[in-house]
């Protein structure tokens, strides 16, 4: 177990250190996310009611597309530089590589969310930090999204059309987590009773546990192919 955790930490640290030096991944994700926020702000600026009703949808559209861009880049950079082959040749458990990449992708997605939320709050005149449950929903949704996305990105990275292939593979699989995240986020923002939000939180938790477990079991077979 100690060797597994050491390998996992090394993969996470490698990705974070490389991003701190280059800032390629986060900068592209942030530019894309902020562009989406600004476009929706201008499109909905005349209708305050519509803005209040679509807040959760706009947030998750932003997170999803920025996250997909990040997933594509995180594995593509490894492949183009030959680092992916080096990781796979290392004498460590392949699942440590998967969890290391997934955790790094989750950190990148949460950093984008941490910047997008205050910007959104200012532009749309809505306090997204008033409901602590919203932050919990964002974490659960991002975890499920990156857990599946990291696995599918490892599958798609070998293809020439990986930039197109990943969204085609990913979006149908993550529909449950996106629907649950949007509904739960909307429930917290509209201050609905917990009884109406709880089923969506349970769906998020179930999705995260099931698909993270599936990715854990099949990752080694995927990268060997």
pLDDT band at 79; cut points 50, 70, 90: low
pLDDT at 46 over 60: no
> CA-CA distance, 147 to 177, in Å (whole number)?
11
Q: Exposure string (b/e) for 115-146, b if CB count within 10 Å is 16 or more?
A: ebbeebeebbeeebeebeebbebbbbbbbbbb
Domain boundaries in the chain? 2-224
pLDDT at 223 over 90: no
Report pLDDT digits (tens) over 131-166: 778 889 999 999 999 999 888 888 877 767 777 788
pLDDT of 85 reads 64
pLDDT of 38 reads 84
pLDDT band at 12; cut points 50, 70, 90: confident
Cα of 118 vs its chain's centroid, Å: 18
pLDDT band at 120; cut points 50, 70, 90: confident
């Amino acid at each position: 177990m100690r060797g597994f955790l050491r390998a996992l930490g090394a993969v996470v640290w490698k990705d974070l250190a490389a991003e701190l030096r280059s800032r390629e991944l986060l900068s592209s994700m942030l530019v894309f996310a902020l562009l989406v926020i600004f476009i929706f702000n201008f499109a909905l600026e005349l209708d305050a009611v519509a803005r209040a009703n679509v807040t959760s949808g706009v947030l998750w559209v932003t997170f999803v597309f920025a996250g997909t861009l990040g997933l594509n880049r995180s594995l593509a950079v490894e492949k183009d530089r030959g680092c992916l082959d080096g990781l796979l040749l290392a004498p460590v458990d392949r699942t440590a590589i998967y969890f290391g990449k997934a955790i790094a992708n989750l950190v990148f997605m949460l950093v984008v969310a941490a910047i997008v939320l205050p910007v959104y709050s200012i532009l749309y005149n809505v306090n997204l930090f008033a409901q602590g449950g919203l932050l919990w929903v964002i974490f659960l949704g991002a975890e499920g999204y990156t857990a599946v996305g990291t696995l599918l990105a490892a599958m798609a990275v070998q293809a020439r059309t990986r930039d197109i292939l990943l969204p085609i593979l990913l979006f149908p699989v993550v529909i449950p987590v996106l629907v649950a995240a949007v509904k739960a986020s909307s429930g917290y923002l509209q201050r609905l009773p917990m009884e109406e939000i709880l089923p969506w939180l349970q769906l998020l938790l179930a999705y995260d546990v099931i698909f993270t477990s599936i990715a854990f079991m099949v990752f080694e077979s995927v990268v060997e192919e």
